[in-house]
Amino acid sequence: MIELGVLALRLALAGAIYAAIAATVGARLRRSDVVGSSRAAAYVVQALVVLAAAVLLRALLQHDFSLEYVAAYSSSTLPTQYTVAALWGGQQGSLLFWVLILTSMSSLVHLQNRHRNEALMPYVTTTLMTTAVFFLGLLVFVTDPFQRLPVAAREGADLNPLLQNYWMMIHPPSLYLGYVGCSVPFAFAIAALASGRLGDVWIRTTRRWTLFAWFFLTVGNLLGARWAYEVLGWGGYWAWDPVENAAFMPWLACTAFLHSVMIQEKRDMLKMWNMVLVLLTFTLTIFGTFLTRSGVVSSVHSFTQSGLGPFFIGFLVTVITVSVTLLVVRRPLLRSDNEIDSFLSREAAFLFNNLLLVGIAFATFWGTVFPVISEAVRGIKITVGPPFFNKVNAPLGLALLFMTGVGPVIAWRRASARNLRRSFTTPLAMGFAAGVVLFALGVRHYYAIISFSLAGFVLTTISLEFYRGTRARQALMGEPPATALAHLVNKNRRRYGGYIVHVGVVMAFIGIAASSAFRIEEQRTMRSGESIEVGGYTLTYKGLRHTDTPHVASMLAEMEVARGDRVIATMFPEKRFYKRQQQPTTEVALRMTWREDLYLVLGSYDDQSGLMTLQVFINPLVVWIWLGGILMVLGTVIVVMPTAAEQRALAAALAVEERGLAAWSQ
Amino acid sequence: MPEISALGYAAGLALVAAVAWAIAAPLLRAVVVAPGAGPVDRERYRLEKERDLAYAAIKEADFDFQMGKLSDEDYAALRRTYEGRAVAALTALDRRR
């Protein structure tokens, strides 16, 4: 059975090489049979990768410890859901999982476009299959998931205990879907450059794919933050860890693209800039994968030191070289006749938002790679920690938050100072009022005051957008308010879904600002029966409890939580000891409310005396970050749903190209 | 490395044959010249695009005006500009027919 997996991977590699070459050759020779064969090969590659992944999954579930991968990342006592997660929990398996998603998306793209985009699709096939060749090449020649041990192990080493967590089950697949989803817009961008068809078609065709990738990058980042919050036990959710940064950077570039692409659609401008952003986003996804797998940075997320770094650098250099060459060659076709009419316009606001997003991405990139560069050039390892990132990115982030409020209020093309005054008076007053109230309440943390004021400003602009839009529809269509609001959102899902995403972003900002500025932290050593007061809570230590299974042993501290005289909860911060890995982990006890999280961490303990050290964190408004994430998801779902107008626009763009082709064929 | 049975070899061969057949089958079909490498009628494309952008701009200006984001003068100026562009694009397209 294992040999079938080996064969499937080798055949998949051969098939992907064939598909990549045949697609472009077929396009150049204008041979439909060759292009058709390349398309069939792309489907076959997916089927073979599915087969290989199924073989590896079966080996994991059957505890086949003759395989090095199964022995290294699972054990016979590992719960089934984590045994399945072990498929992406190790180096080789995660690469296989990556290529599984990539080839599945490739098949979906080919199915969606089987009767359209005939000029672009061969190059799309070449790009997607070339990426698949890279990953399959690694799996076949460098890091084989089906490598056998000389002698089968009697027991597996188990999955890293930090990964044995619910959030870790869904965080990597989400992030991979986001990362790999970026390959589709990239492939269409390369196809547009290679074929010279640089109109709107590639952008309209990939709009949903870009949103899909952005959606999963957002969810993946948030789930990662949630995992870090619950598993790492340091009281926070984001530490500017290099691998966190690696997932954050493509999200920033993708967000910039989603905004600037609207300017291209509406004004036929920024074609070159949009191309650069798509290419940058994909490059950053590969760079992120390189960071995780090369071992060049130390991180809680990274896989062990491996020899994959040079291969990833080679692939990155190839991607950048091909992209830049195509951009230079096609530069004349990427010029636009239109210009920004006024700097007081929505397109100018979007441009500024783009600069901020790319600025944050650049600062994050620099802070992430600087230690690596420093070590390589000077031999000195420098740590760039959260203070650097917070110092640089916090002001940029606040400026971005401000622009989130400015963009919706300004008209496309031109806005006069008088209208801006009218549009901004109420939001600015609300923002200012929020700041004054906080100051009057005794808040002296200026970043927090600015954040909350900006949040008030943005939420008011968005509310006014819904209100004025509804009023405008009422005036134009004579509809009652509820119908007008429903039609307003339904007829322009992209704009109003986007506003809902923005509300989610504002909520996340509020949560981040409050939890950073007003966190309470205490550490106490306690005896059984002793109570402490922290942030209005009375915590009484009732004693230690012990549980034991063949897989894991646990020590739990029973903590009674009271507010005033009323007992509101019993919480169990926990230390676990994973037997196979001989590794202790911390399991946080968390009580979440909309106001604050009570976050308990069991430090050290003495079983004999019953003494234990408890860390208590009170993190205000953290739940707003997760609720903001849910709103972002909801808003994106609204944005993704197609409207009749968009489908007409895509059909029109395709028809224009088809007519062009027909004219040429005659 | 465990021994591979005859059945295993047969399964492997069947897999290789299936892959080869799936990829080669399209090559056995009649060749149709694919419209892929030729240039688009760029001028017509440009004009149609110009027309569509002007329509969209007028619609957008109407809505922004209703929302109170545009002054009377800016609205009138924008409408004039984009109506002019739409008419110019339509005239040029008519001439090409």
With CB atoms and an 8 Å threshold, state whether A11 touches B15: yes
- The answer to whether position A99 is within a domain reads yes
B30 pLDDT more than 70: no
Coil, strand or helix at A297: coil
**Does B29 reside within a domain?**
yes
Average pLDDT over residues A272-300: 84
Question: For residue B26, is it within any domain?
Answer: yes
Q: What confidence score (pLDDT) does residue A59 get?
A: 95
Cβ separation of A27 and B60 shorter than 8 Å? Answer: no
Using the beta-carbon criterion (under 8 Å), do B40 and A414 form an inter-chain contact? no
pLDDT of residue A5: 92
Residue A220: count of CB within 10 angstroms of its CB? 22
Q: A587 in a domain, yes or no?
A: yes
Distance CA A636, CA A630 (A): 10
Residue A655: partners with Cβ closer than 8 Å, 6 or more residues away:
none
**Rounded distance between C-alpha atoms, residue A603 and residue A585, angstroms:** 10
**Contact (CB, 8 A) for A135 and A95:** yes
Which residues of chain B neighbour A468 with C-beta distances below 8 Å?
67-68
User: How much of chain A, in percent, has pLDDT values that exceed 90?
Assistant: 58
Render pLDDT for A521-564 as a digit per residue (tens, 0 to 9): 999 999 989 999 999 999 999 988 899 988 889 999 999 999 98
Contacts of A90 (CB under 8 A, 6+ apart): A69, A72, A73, A303
pLDDT of residue A510: 95
Q: Rounded CA gap, A255 and A497, in Å?
A: 15
Residue A389 within any structural domain of the chain: no
Chain B environment of A267 (Cβ under 8 Å): 53
Between CA B55 and CA B85 the distance in angstroms is 9
**B63 or A397, which is more confident:** A397
Say if residues A621 and A595 touch (Cβ distance below 8 Å). Answer: yes
Mean pLDDT of chain A: 89
Contacts of A665 in chain B (CB under 8 A): 35, 38
Residue A545 lies in a domain: yes
Residues of A in contact with B26 (CB under 8 A): 33-34, 36-37, 39-40
Last residue of one domain, picked from the residues A126, A142, A164: A164
B48: in domain:
yes
In a domain, A631, yes or no: no
Tokens of A628: 């903001």
- Testing the interface with A: which of B46, B69, B75, B85 to mutate, by most A Cβ within 10 A? B69
User: Domain ends where: A164, A182, A197?
Assistant: A164
The answer to whether the beta carbons of residues A291 and A368 sit under 8 Å apart is yes
Examine residue A361 and state whether it is found in any structural domain, yes or no: no
Residues 6+ apart with CB under 8 A from A421: none
Please name every residue paired with B33 in a beta bridge, in sequence order, or none if there are none: A31
Partners of residue A422 in chain B, C-beta under 8 Å: 68
Find all residues with CB under 8 Å of A531, minimum gap 6, and list them.
A538, A539, A540, A541
Q: Which of A164, A182, A217 is the last residue of a domain?
A: A164
Mean pLDDT check: name the lowest of A97-101, A354-358, B39-43: B39-43
Mean pLDDT lowest for which of A321-335, A519-533, B66-80, B83-97? B66-80
Contact B35 A664 (CB under 8 A): yes
Closest residue, chain B, to A657 (C-alpha): B40
In chain B, the number of structural domains is: 1
CB contact under 8 A, B66 and A197: no
Task: Name the one residue in this structure whose structure tokens are 């998949």.
Answer: A12
Contacts of B67 in chain A (CB under 8 A): 465, 468-469, 472
Measuring CA to CA, which residue among A62, A127, A138 is closest to residue A97? Answer: A138
Three-class SS of residue A561? strand
When pLDDT is cut at 50, 70 and 90, the band that residue A302 belongs to is low
pLDDT class of B94 with cuts at 50, 70, 90: confident
Q: How many CB atoms lie within 10 A of CB A266?
A: 18
Q: What is the pLDDT of residue B64?
A: 80
Question: In whole angstroms, what is the distance from residue A601 CA to residue A265 CA?
Answer: 51
The predicted model gives A399-428 an average pLDDT of: 84
User: Is B1 part of any domain?
Assistant: no
Is residue A603, in this structure, part of any structural domain at all?
A: yes
Contacts B33 to A, Cβ<8 Å: 30-32
Q: Do B61 and A660 touch (CB under 8 A)?
A: no
Chain A residues whose beta carbon lies within 8 Å of the beta carbon of residue B44 = 656, 659-660, 663
Show the tokens assigned to A545.
């409890």
- For A378-398, what is the mean pLDDT? 87
| pLDDT band (50, 70, 90) for residue A114 | confident
pLDDT at B40 over 60: no
Q: What are phi and psi of A58, to 5 degrees?
A: -60, -45
Task: Name which of B1, B29, B61 is nearest A33 (Cβ-Cβ).
Answer: B29
| Overall average pLDDT of the A72-87 stretch | 91
3-state SS class at A197: coil
What are the tokens at A491?
A: 């007829």
**What amino acid occupies position A390?**
N
The 10s digit of each residue's pLDDT in A128-158 is 999 999 999 999 999 899 999 998 888 888 8
Number of domains forming the structure of chain A:
2
Q: How far is B89 from chain A (nearest CA, A)?
A: 14
Kindly indicate the confidence band of residue A300, based on its pLDDT and cuts at 50, 70 and 90: low
pLDDT score of B36: 47
pLDDT at A363: 95
Please judge whether A4 and B26 are an interchain contact, meaning their C-beta atoms are less than 8 angstroms apart.
Answer: no
Check pLDDT > 60 for residue A661: no
Least confident span in A11-20, A349-358, A410-419, B78-87: A410-419
A15 has a chain B CB within 8 A of its CB: yes
Q: Which pLDDT belongs to residue A664? A: 35
Burial of A30 (0-12, 13-18, 19+ CB in 10 A): middle
Q: pLDDT tens digits for A447-482?
A: 899 999 999 999 999 999 899 889 888 887 888 989
Print the SS3 string covering A614-657: EEEEEEECHHHHHHHHHHHHHHHHHHHCCCHHHHHHHHHHHHHH
Q: Which of A1, A2, A3 to mutate to test the interface with B (most CBs of B within 10 A)?
A: A3
pLDDT > 70? residue B32: no
Cα A469 to Cα B22: distance, rounded to the nearest angstrom? 54
Q: Provide the token pair at A465.
A: 């957008």
Higher-confidence residue of A9 and A383: namely A9
pTM: 0.89
Q: Which domain holds residue B72?
A: 6-96
Q: Which stretches within A114-165 are classed as H helix? A: 121-137
pLDDT of residue B41: 66
**Could you tell me the pLDDT band of residue A277, with boundaries at 50, 70 and 90?**
very high
DSSP string, A115-178: TS-TTTHHHHHHHHHHHHHHHHHIIIIIS-TTPBPSS--SS-----GGG-SHHHHHHHHHHHHH
Please give the single-letter amino acid code of residue A331.
R
| Distance of residue A285 Cα from the nearest chain B Cα, in angstroms | 30
For the ranges A495-499, A648-652, B45-49, the maximum mean pLDDT occurs at A495-499
| Domain assignment present for B38 | yes
Amino acid code (one letter) for A287:
F
- With respect to residue A214, please indicate whether it lies within any of the assigned structural domains: no
A133 compared with B48, residue with greater pLDDT:
A133
Q: What percentage of chain A has pLDDT greater than the value 70?
A: 94
Structural domain of A99 = 1-164
- Does A148 lie at the interface with B, CB-CB under 8 angstroms? yes
For residues A252 and A226, the answer to whether their CB atoms sit within 8 Å is no
User: Which of the 8 DSSP states describes residue A441?
Assistant: T
User: Is residue A346 over pLDDT 70?
Assistant: yes
Q: How many helices (H) and strands (E) does chain B have?
A: 3, 0
Using CA atoms, how far residue A521 sits from A235, A283, A454, A562, in Å, is 9, 40, 27, 18
Does A666 score more than 50 pLDDT?
A: no
Residue of A nearest to B13 (CA): A7
Partner B contacted by A115 (CB < 8 A): no
Strand ranges of the sheet holding A612-620, from the earlier edge strand across to the other edge: A520-526, A612-620, A596-605, A589-592
- What is the per-residue pLDDT across A174-228, written as a single tens digit (0 to 9) for each? 999 999 999 999 999 999 999 888 877 888 888 899 999 999 999 999 999 998 8
- For residue A662, name the pLDDT band (cuts at 50, 70, 90): very low
